[in-house]
Copies of this chain bind each other. A is one copy, B any other.
């Protein structure tokens, strides 16, 4: 028996473990200090009343013989797929119900989609990046090319015309940098993919945070994208579903390679290796996408965006360079005084009991950068900004 050699190439996931360890040590030495974390990428506001009511109602249905439901279709109930199509229609994107696949979350689908592609394909990953893009491809033994994000390109790198790759990841709004590609920039990605016959894997988990009506919230707002892109979405950040677990993936019927429909391949993958999302969760997701649910989601998003604005305005005041914070829940700042990512982490923890995420944890281009998230509670966040202000970072 031989273990998949791809697994043996993986590095340990030390980033969040190391953060946890450092925080525990600090706590041991300063038991009374009130540590504030701006590090986690997880929501903190409760589910909206519409969602709770829908899930309670669905649970009750499952307890009565007349309304009980067993297996649903692996790709999701029609009621939810239709609700997702309506959500896309509001963005000016027409989708068929058969192009939408309900899942337990974007993270699962981002990994599982790779089943469709040969192991000898080359993958392009703009970096810094969500570590899942890298790790899932290492597991599959694929060759990875990195595209460097940096201050010069505003952390919105574009593919060089001469570069070949078979698959490429996009994440806009971006985790960790909070940057958002413009329509023109996404158009250059689509044009590149069409010329190369590549498939774009567009992670749109944070699209609901886009406030500027000029910025694209779906790759399919770009002409040609249905012939080259798969889009991954999630209710995790849109509706506070990180613990409820529901996302969806769009595979257009027009996406064909080697004469084979990728939509058909994904359907085959999902019907073989997945058994659908809980009926109760799907009713919750339907409610989250209803007019009532959407109004409640917008309130939560406005709360997080006000957090982002407060962080951004504190950093501006302090004269720090950063991206994000306007159409994304992430703020990506250059560490002051030439500090490395981990030096700044230690500095913040030691000097003001504030926790963030070292940028180097998202790839080598993240060295010297640092991520704050806007998902915390307001009162904590205000305290955190006050502590930052007192640090006199600009004089470092």
Contact = CB atoms under 8 A, between A and B. Distances in A.
Q: Which of A59, A60, A242, A265 has the most CB of B within 10 A?
A: A59
Given A4-B115, A243-B279, A278-B278, A65 B45 contact: yes
A198 interface: yes
A346 to B, nearest CB: 26
A62 interface: yes
Most buried by B among A1, A47, A72: A1
B280 A3 contact: no
Interface of A: 1-5, 7-8, 10, 13, 42-49, 51-52, 55-56, 59-60, 62-65, 68-72, 104-105, 107-108, 111-112, 115-121, 132, 135-136, 139, 166-167, 197-199, 240, 242-245, 257-258, 260, 262, 265, 268-269, 271-281, 284
Contact of A279 (B60, B65, B108, B244): B244
B245 A276 contact: yes
**Chain A to chain B: the 3 pairs with minimum beta-carbon distance, closest first:** A111-B273, A52-B63, A2-B118
Nearest to A43: B70
A273 B56 CA distance: 29
A80 B276 CA distance: 21
A121 B5 CA distance: 12
Copies in the complex: 2
Contact of A275 (B2, B5, B105, B262): B105
B68 A117 contact: no
A88 to B, nearest CB: 23
A262 B7 CA distance: 11
Contacts of A198: 1
A99 B13 CA distance: 20
B265 A3 contact: yes
A347 to B, nearest CB: 27
Contact of A121 (B2, B59, B71, B117): B2
Contacts of A273: 107-108, 111-112, 132, 136, 139
A62 B287 CA distance: 15
A296 to B, nearest CB: 11
Contacts of A112: 273
Given A265-B7, A275-B108, A59 B52 contact: yes
B71 A47 contact: no
Given A117-B4, A273-B112, A275-B108, A268 B62 contact: no
